[in-house]
Amino acid sequence: MYTGNKLFEHLSSTKDETDYLWYIVGCEYTPSDDGQLVRINVESRAHILHAFVNNAYVGRIHGSHDGPANIILCTNISLKEGPNTISLLNAMVGSRTQVLMWKEESLESGK
Tens digits of residue pLDDT in 3-32:
566 555 555 555 556 677 788 889 999 988
34 or 82, which is more confident: 82
Compute the chain's Rg from CA coordinates. Answer: 18
In this structure, is residue 2 part of a structural domain?
Answer: no
Domain that holds residue 65: 10-109
In this structure, is residue 4 part of a structural domain?
Answer: no
Do 104 and 75 form a contact (C-beta atoms < 8 A)?
no
Cα dist from 44 to 5, 55, 64, 70, 108, whole Å: 17, 20, 13, 5, 36
Determine if residue 39 is left, alpha or beta; phi over 0 gives left, psi from -120 to 50 gives alpha, anything else beta. beta
In this structure, is residue 1 part of a structural domain?
Answer: no
Look at residue 32 in the predicted model and tell me its pLDDT: 80
Q: Could you tell me the pTM of the whole model?
A: 0.70
Question: For strand 48-53 and strand 20-29, is the pairing parallel, antiparallel, or unpaired?
Answer: unpaired
Residues 45-102 pLDDT 10s: 778 889 999 999 999 988 876 767 778 899 999 899 999 999 998 887 764 444 444 4
Euclidean distance between the first and final Cα of the chain, in Å? 39
CATH number at residue 22: 2.60.120.260
Number of domains in the chain: 1
Look at residue 12 in the predicted model and tell me its pLDDT: 56
